[in-house]
Every structure is written in C-alpha cells, then in structure tokens.
Amino acid sequence: MSTRRQLKSMCTLTQKNSYIFQQNLKITQLGKKGKINEAKKIFNQISKPNIVTYNSMISAYSKNGRFLDARKVFDTMPHRNPVSWNAMISAYLNNDQCGEAIKLFDQMVHKDSYTYALMITCYTRVGLFDKARMVFDAMPDKGNVACWNAMVSGYVKNGKLKEAGKLFYVMPVKNLVSWNTMLSGYIQNREMLVALKFFTEMEEKDAVSWNLMVDGYVEVGDLESAWELFKKIPEANAVSWVTMLSGYAKHDRVLEARRVFDQMPDKTPVAWNAMLAAYAQNCQINEAIRLFIEMPERTDVAWTTMINGYIRVGRFEEAQKLLNSMPYKSVGAQTAMISGLIQNNQMDEAKRAFDIIRTPDLICWNTMIAGYTRYGRMEEASDMFQQMPQKNTVTWNLMIAGYAQVGQIDKATNLFEQMSERNLVSWNSLISGYLQNGFYTDALKCFELMKRENKKPDQATYASILSSCANLAVEQTGKQLHQNVLKTGFVKKLLVGNALITMYAKCGCILSAQNMFNEIDNIDLVSWNSLIAGYALNGYGNEAIKLLNDMDREGVQPDQVTFIGILSACNHAGLVDQGRFLFEQMTHKYSLDPLTEHLSCIIDLLARAGRLDEAFQLANEMKNKLHAGIWGSLLNACCQHKNAALAGYAAEKLVQCEPQESSPFVLLSNMSAEIGKWDEVNKLRAMLRQSGTGKQPGCSWIEDKNRLLVFLSGDDACPHKVEVFSTSKALNLHITDGNCCSGRSIISGRDETIDMV
C-alpha cells in the first residue's frame, strides 16, 4: 500500500473514531440530563458501535431507572469488558435490584477492584453483612482503598458504627473518603460531640468534611453552631452556602436564609433554586414570585419548584398557567402539577394531565399509582400497574399498601410474593397491612420470615409488631421484642415507646406500661392517650382521671381519643357521676364534638347503673350517631333491670340496624323467661327460627412459649381437643365445687337450653 493510501486510511479511521467518541459523549450527557429517548436515537444511528458506546447506553438507561432496557443492551453486546459488567451491576444496584446484581456477579469471569466494591455495597445494602465480608476477604488486592471504604460505608449506613470503627482503624491506607465516611456515620447517628472530636483530629479536610459538619448541626437543630462552623470554612463553596441556606429554611427561619443568600459571592442556579424552595415551602408565595421573576436563569427545577409553590397554597389555576407558559414542559414539572391535582382530590384531571405526557418517567407513573391507591381506586391503580413499561420497588410497595388499605390483603400478599427484590418498606407495608386488617398472627409470621431473610427491622416494623402483640395479648412475645428494641436503640423512638405502652397495657401489665410512659423523654399526646386507654382496659378508672388532670396541669390539650379512653375508664370502673361530668367537660370546656364511641361509653355507663331514662334521653338526642352496639348495650341493661317496655324499644332499634343478628331475640327471651312471660318466650323463639339467624362461633387463643394456639367453638378438627376438653372439664368441676356462682338456665341463640355456671 502506498504511503498516500496509508495516510488516507489512518485519517479516515481517526475521523471515524472521533465521530464515535463524540456520539458516545452525547449519549452520556443526554443520559445525565434524563433525555433518554434522544440518547437512544443517537445509539441506534451508530452503524458500528464500539464497546464504549454500549457501556454509555447501559449507564444512560441505568441513571433513568430503565434497568430492563439496560439489560437488553448488555445482552446484545458482541464483546464485553469488566466495565460493561460493572455498568450492568451498577444499573441493578441503583434500581434496588440487588438479587439480579448478585446473579450477574456470580457469572463474571474477570472481576476488578471496582466489581468487588460494587458487590460489597450490594450485600451491605440488603443487610447481608456476612456475604459482604466474604467478598471483602476474597478480593485479590487487599490494599484497595475503594473496597475498604465500601465495607466501612456499608456498616455506617446501617448504623453499625462499632464495626465501622474497628475496620476504619485497621485500614492499611486511608484517604479523605475514608475519613469523611466515618465522620458521616457519627453525624448520621446524631453524635455531634463525637463527630466534632473526630473532625478536629482529621489532618486533612475538604469541602465535603466541612459541609457534613454544617449539615449535621442543621439536622439536630443547632443552627447557631452550624453558622459558627460555616464562618470558619477556609473557602466555602456553593454547596456550603446552600447547605446553610437550606438549613435555615428547614427550620422556618426564612429571613436568615435570605441573609445567607444575599451574602453569597457567586449565586449559582442551585442557590437560586434553594432560595426559591425556601419561600415556596414556607408558603411565602409572593416572595417566591418576586424571586422567580428576578432569576437570571430558570432551570427545570425552578419552574417545578414554583409550580409546587402555587399548589402548596391552593392556587391551582396559576400553577396550570405557569406550566403552560414553560418553554419546554419537563416531565418533572408536569408530575408536580399531577401531584397537586391528586392532593386536591382531582384524580380524573390528574389522569388527563398524565395522558398528554409523551414519555412519562418512572416517578410520574408512581405518582399516579400513589394517587389511585390514596383514594382506594385499586382497579385503576392495577390497570396502570399492568401498563407500566418498567416498575421499581416503590411501585410494588405502593400497590401492596393500596390493597391492604382497602382490605384486599390476599392481593397484597400475592404481589409481595411476586416481587423479585424486596426492601424494608415492602416488608413494613405487608406487616402493616396484616395489622390494619386484623391478621395479627400473620403479621408475626411475616416478621419471623423477615428476620430469617436477614432484613433489619426499623422502628416502624417494631411498632407494627408490638401492636400485633398487643391485640393478641401475647405478653411473652412482647417482652422479647422489648429486649430487641433495647439492643437496637429504637426504644428511644416515640413511635416504639408508645407501642410498648399499649402492648403492656393490653397484656394486663399496667405497671410496666406506666414505667414505659415514665421512661419516654418527650412524651406526646399519643403517649398520654395510650396510658389512659391502658388504665381504662384494666379497670383503673381513678388513675385515668388523675392522668387527665396531669395533662391539664402540663398544658396538654386532650383530643377525642383521650376522652374515648377516659369515658371507657369510667364505664369499666362504674364511675357514673364522674363519667357524666367528664362527658359534659369534653363538649363545654374542650369544645370537642362527641363521637359514636363517646356516646357508646356514656350511654352504657348510665344504662348499667340503672339510669335508663337518662340513657334513653341521651340516645334519642344523638340518634343520628348511634349504631347497633349502643342499642345492644341498652337492650342488655334493660334486660338486666327487667324493664320490658324499654327493652322492646331497644330491641326494635337493634333489629333495624342488624336484621340478621340473633342477640335481640335471645336477650328478650331470657328476660321474658325470668319474669315468667312464657307466651312471649314461645313467640320470640318462633321469630328466631323464622329469621334463620345464628351465633358466630367463639374464638380463644393461648400463648404457649413461642406458639399461638387458636380454638374455635365447635371445631372438632382441633388437634388439641382432647387436652382442651379434659382441662376445661377439670376447671368446671373446680369452679362448681368452689361455688363461684350459682347455675341458671338461659336460652341460647341455637334454640337450646344451656346450663351456665
């Protein structure tokens, strides 16, 4: 080949390489900007993409949550290098698909240090620290600082500061990332004194170090220390200024935030957006408008923030006008508008706004799903779920929580079982769903399965499980959980502390509930209400009233829930006059409207005390708020006090509320039998047969070590029936011999006579 031809060939190759290089760069940049369809278009136009082209496209898809598309590109690659594998693993990792990342890692032949660092991050993210440590110990380059940092970071992010510290201090080489990672752990744990000491010991500090400390003080609400430290930063960068500005805004100190903004030497678009967000979040919409007009450059974030600002103060028309005036309607801005419509209960308008978006992103899809689930429109949520081109863990979690909310717990469970990757929110959604729908044993089973899969519970998990224990009255299981939360430190969390109060109270351990109440540092209204309800449940009426007086002295305003507990306490303890007085105080002193629950308590209290005329007068005054339970308690009281006229009236009302209920006939029959009206008894028994009603079988349970044994009345299939019957017989003989109470005959709901002891 001649020299001229060689030069021409080299020139052509250089031009071609330069072209591909430029196209690869464009794909990367478009991916970062979220313009994934434009990136895909460029990718498809390259006739002979090189390995970098493929890797760039995988990364672009990954950054935009489209890991399935990333995998399609990965699978079509003619050749792959470690960067390709790492890019795909990173795509899975970024989208909470740790299981898929692990599968890919196991298939890799040639792994580099970055691969090991990725997998350490992957395992620690899902709480598999033993696996992470195995990968860490297996890495060929024992001195690779990135892998050490990944392991330390994994411990830090999961609150394992002790383990992180041990590893940090034996690192062969530490860089600034290592120090900052450890510093972030102390700050994340809100240990600012330890963090300050560690920060002082750091030989080298960068902007990240200073910003971490400033942000740490902001998070704990110590804005004065944050400002003093900020002033000491050698060269505060834009992030430092914005951190301080946002800190003031977060704590509603917008004037100080503006002072920081005005002092900034170089106002970047991020700074303008932060100040705009400060005004918008604090509902200072006019200030936000003025700042928006002054902005030298309006980014998509600025437009979206302003739309959110209008929505926050209920100015939807102006939000829509602003969206329409955008030079380029970003998906983020359109999603903000959709979110506003959803908050205003305009789901159909939100759907119309969604339908005009050409390429909605995952956040937009999830916003719509969240809207439908929020309003219980699960059929439409399901339709949208099926249409989604890609789903992430958030999508699945929204659907699980949505089905649980409307009582379709089987569908929630089925979806949970279909998930390829479950995070903590997934488990909490299902456990909470079981709790909401009364499946308490299923919640406990789910919790055990969660632990077996090495998922680390958080305070929300423990609060739900403790509530399940409370409803089942399984004291030993509750105590074991209390020990767990003591070890994790969650016992200091108000959510868990309140759940412990309720658990002990419902298990009859009122002293433990009271001790738990006294141990909580910052009790809230829920804490007071939980202990009052506990006193009520255990018959401590005077103690409940005393606690209400303590609330009054400490300036804590009771709510309607407080008075449900108080009136219930009076009811259980038979404190008639106090109950009547407190009912009046609720309406007059505290201006609280009585709910059905309040009426149920006070009417039942009056009726059982024999003050039937007073009880019926109150019932007739509030008849629009009464339900079957109230008429049932009135009927019971009338039968107890042998008031046939009022009993008939109450029974009539009860039958109107619940036509299929047998109890009115049974109670009236028993009363008629006791006062010798046998014609009335025969008449009522005939009516009972004609109605076809029957009694629901009784249900009991016993906590035996770590097992919960459940028994239904008339269930011959129970494997423990022989032991149960023999024990029951022995107890009955013991009670009869002890003359605990006299036997008498009553008429049951099944038209038979049963001897009651």
- Per residue in 344-359, pLDDT (tens digit) is 889 999 999 999 998 8
pLDDT tens, 240-249?
Answer: 899 999 999 9
The stretch 548-562 carries a mean pLDDT of 94
pLDDT of amino acid 470: 94
**Could you give the percent of the chain with pLDDT greater than 70?**
81
**Could you give the percent of the chain with pLDDT greater than 90?**
41
Q: Is the pLDDT of residue 68 over 90?
A: no
Q: Is the pLDDT of residue 66 over 90?
A: no
Report which of residues 753 and 696 the model is more confident about.
696
pLDDT of amino acid 680: 53
- pLDDT tier at 292, thresholds 50, 70, 90: very high
Q: Is the pLDDT of residue 285 over 80?
A: yes
Q: Is the pLDDT of residue 686 over 70?
A: no
User: Cβ–Cβ contacts within 10 Å for residue 105, how many?
Assistant: 20
pLDDT of amino acid 137: 87
Looking at residue 746, what DSSP letter applies?
A: E
CA distances from 425 to 17, 95, 132, 365, 624 (A): 47, 15, 22, 19, 41
The stretch 87-98 carries a mean pLDDT of 83
Which amino acid would we find at residue 622?
M
pLDDT tens, 729-740?
Answer: 676 666 656 554
Determine the length of the chain.
757
CA distances from 358 to 37, 331, 354, 362, 550 (A): 11, 9, 9, 13, 60
pLDDT tens, 371-403?
Answer: 999 999 999 999 999 999 888 899 999 999 999
pLDDT of amino acid 748: 40
Q: Is 297 helix (H, G, I), strand (E, B) or coil?
A: coil
Q: Report residue 543 as tokens.
A: 């103690």
- pLDDT tier at 659, thresholds 50, 70, 90: low
pLDDT of amino acid 353: 92
pLDDT of amino acid 13: 44
Least confident of 294-298, 309-313, 583-587, 684-688: 684-688
Please, how many CA atoms are within 13 Å of residue 303, restricted to the half-sphere of its CB?
Answer: 21
User: Cβ–Cβ contacts within 10 Å for residue 671, how many?
Assistant: 25
Q: Which of 12-26, 130-144, 215-229 has the highest mean pLDDT?
A: 215-229
- pLDDT tier at 406, thresholds 50, 70, 90: very high
φ, ψ dihedrals at 701, nearest 5°: -145, 155
- pLDDT tier at 5, thresholds 50, 70, 90: low
Please, how many CA atoms are within 13 Å of residue 339, restricted to the half-sphere of its CB?
Answer: 19
Q: Is 692 left (phi over 0), alpha (psi -120 to 50) or beta?
A: left
Report the mean per-residue pLDDT for the chain. Answer: 83
Q: Is the pLDDT of residue 439 over 90?
A: yes
Beta bridge partners of 712: 699
Q: Is 747 helix (H, G, I), strand (E, B) or coil?
A: strand
pLDDT of amino acid 753: 33
The stretch 476-488 carries a mean pLDDT of 90
Q: How far apart are CA 533 and CA 523, in angstroms?
A: 15
pLDDT of amino acid 159: 81
Q: Is the pLDDT of residue 189 over 70?
A: yes
Report which of residues 738 and 328 the model is more confident about.
328
Nearest to 505 by CA among 522, 525, 487, 528: 528
Q: Is the pLDDT of residue 566 over 60?
A: yes
Q: How far apart are CA 147 and CA 548, in angstroms?
A: 57
User: Is-above-0.95 flag for pTM?
Assistant: no
Count H helices and E strands in the chain, helices first: 43, 4
Q: Is the pLDDT of residue 120 over 60?
A: yes
